[in-house]
């Protein structure tokens, strides 16, 4: 189970359409669903919540909750849909998540998290992993994180994706919690030194695959097992085009931005025929031409036209032509 490079779970972002798009840039990156509450899977529209395209593998289902039985049942359903991994969210700091007693606040109750993991592992045969922070609020990460990890090791967890910031549960919103608490990569490295047998994946503040590769290398004192990037991929998805070469030694020539955009036309056509509004797909494609001439008109055209012409995939072809025109005029 390789976690050399992962694209982070992002609420309202990493739905099946976004993941299909992200897969165009890398064959091997591990993708994650949005955080899905276990109770929603039990009682909600399972196909809507859990359906995916085979191209999305390797793919992890991220669950949230604190009821061991509900989590185990949701994990079993997820395994039945064909997911490669169950990831338990112990890192989300939002008020809504805290009100449900899951996410980062559970770092203060490692025994409950361990019970959840044990129940899940009784139900499924696929790996169960943890995504967490280095600590929360006024707790000392030097004490909290090792205690949390040690407890979870005993429940059978061997892969930890660690966002190298504290989660401040009172006073900061989720966006602020991704930016304001200082990064402490050495805290994550400390866990790897203490338990070298663990699979430790670094998350938080990583902007490109190249900087991520540097941060997880042995040159920093100890080699980590993987890196996870989130918002930076959404802002500039083409930034991960070299991941397969950089992390997986696959030297296959990379497709151009235009090639990827053209391939997505067929996906939009298929979705439109199924009654899926095209703007649900294009909203996560806005950064495709980030840093290129024509990026502004690409973003503007898709942002305005796709919601108005929700069943017309020609919007994407038109946007491609506008970028081509902008680039040819500058040549």
Cis ω for the linkage preceding 133 (within 30 of 0)? no
Q: Which long-range contacts (CB under 8 A, 24 or more apart) does 234-237 make?
A: 234/10, 234/13, 234/284, 234/287, 235/287, 235/290, 236/287, 236/290, 236/291, 237/21, 237/22, 237/25, 237/285, 237/287, 237/288, 237/290
DSSP three-state, residue 113:
helix
Tokens representing residue 140 in the block: 């000392």
Select from 148, 222, 150 the least CA-distant residue to 185: 222
- Positions marked active-site: 92
Select from 45, 41, 40, 51 the least CA-distant residue to 15: 51
Backbone angles phi, psi at 271, to 5 degrees: -65, -40
CB 113 within 8 A of CB 195: no
């Amino acid at each position: 189970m390789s976690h050399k490079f992962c694209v982070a779970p992002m609420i309202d972002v990493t739905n099946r359409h976004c993941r299909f798009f992200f897969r165009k840039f890398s064959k091997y990156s591990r993708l994650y669903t949005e955080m899905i509450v276990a109770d929603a899977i039990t009682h909600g529209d399972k196909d809507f919540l859990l359906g995916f395209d085979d191209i999305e593998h390797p793919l992890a289902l991220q669950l949230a909750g604190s009821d061991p039985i509900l989590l185990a049942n949701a994990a079993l359903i997820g395994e039945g849909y064909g997911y490669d991994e169950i990831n338990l969210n112990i890192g989300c700091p939002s008020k809504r998540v805290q009100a449900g007693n899951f996410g980062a606040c559970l770092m203060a109750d490692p025994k409950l998290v361990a019970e959840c993991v044990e129940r899940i592992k009784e139900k499924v045969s696929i790996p169960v992993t943890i995504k967490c922070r280095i600590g929360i609020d006024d707790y000392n990460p030097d004490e909290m994180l090792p205690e949390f990890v040690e407890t979870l090791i005993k429940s059978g967890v061997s892969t930890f994706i660690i966002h190298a910031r504290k989660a401040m549960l009172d006073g900061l919103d989720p966006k602020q919690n991704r930016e304001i608490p200082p990064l402490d990569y050495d805290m994550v490295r400390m866990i790897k030194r203490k338990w070298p047998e663990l699979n430790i994946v670094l998350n938080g503040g990583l902007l490109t695959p190249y900087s991520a590769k540097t941060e997880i290398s042995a040159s920093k004192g100890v080699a980590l097992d993987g890196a996870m990037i989130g918002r930076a991929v959404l802002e500039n998805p083409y930034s991960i085009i070299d991941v397969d070469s950089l992390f997986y030694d696959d030297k296959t020539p990379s497709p151009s931005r235009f090639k990827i955009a053209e391939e997505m036309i067929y996906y939009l056509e298929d979705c439109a025929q199924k009654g899926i509004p095209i703007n649900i797909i294009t909203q996560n494609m806005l950064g495709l031409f980030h840093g290129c001439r024509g990026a502004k008109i690409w973003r503007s055209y898709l942002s305005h036209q796709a919601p108005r012409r929700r069943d017309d995939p020609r919007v994407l072809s038109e946007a491609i032509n506008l970028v081509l025109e902008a680039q040819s005029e500058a040549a």
